[in-house]
Amino acid sequence: MLNRLLKYSLVISLVISIVYILVGLILVAWPTLSLTVLLRITGVIGLIAGLHRIVQYFAGGEAMDFFRFELSSGIFLLVSSLLLLFSAHVVVGVLPAILGIFVIVESGFGLQAALDGLRARRAFSLIHLLLGGCSLVVGFVMLLLPKESLAALTALFGFSLILNGIERLLTTLFCSRYLRKLHKNMQDVIHDDAPPRVK
């Protein structure tokens, strides 16, 4: 039973590794198109989850529970999923601006903390200042060149998925080899310790 469970886990891990690598390659090859497709797939998953939550709420009876959020979260998932399904290109167009503003605001806080650190003569404050300045530049680039920056970010995410998939694949193969060797050693020990047969 344990042997079968381990084999099943290794197969699942192997499949996930291959999926990671394939998705990563698609994201690197067609960043903008693949991002739109991924958003629509996310929309379908969110739509199913939203409908499930709404059905779950109405199937729950008339219990007065003020901490139940199935209906509100279901409606939110439903609306946001429909937006992703039918306006994925709009989301793709707006996403770099939202991310750019977020990065600029975050880098502003980082720059302030770094400048305060320089005044207080704290260690590594200059490194924090340089990193904050780089983040600020990245934020403005995302605002000024939204399409190119989004394609670059998607490709970078795809590349990280490829690396993650390769790492997972190698780990799975190593674990499989180790478990086979361990199983063989245990079988040898069992055979060695077995009492001799009486003729």
Total domains, the chain: 1
Condensed to tens digits (0 to 9), the pLDDT of residues 98-155 reads: 888 988 988 888 888 888 888 877 777 788 888 888 888 888 888 888 888 888 888 8
Residue 185 lies in a domain: no
In a domain, 133, yes or no: yes
pLDDT over 90, % of the chain: 2
- Model confidence at 196, in pLDDT bands (50, 70, 90)? low
| Total-model pTM | 0.58
Q: End-to-end CA distance of the chain: give it in Å, rounded.
A: 33
> Which amino acid makes up residue 7?
K
186 in any annotated domain? no
Q: How far is CA 130 from the centre of its chain?
A: 28
Range of the domain at 18: 10-172
Segment 60-77 shows an average pLDDT of: 71
Q: Which of 17, 21, 23, 29 is nearest to 162 (CA)?
A: 21
Whether the predicted pLDDT of 183 surpasses 70: no
Residue 18 lies in a domain: yes
Q: How many Cβ atoms from other residues are within 10 Å of residue 91's Cβ? A: 18
Band of residue 31 on the pLDDT scale cut at 50, 70, 90: confident
177 occurs within a structural domain: no
Kindly state whether residue 138 falls inside one of the protein's structural domains: yes
Domain for residue 25, yes or no? yes
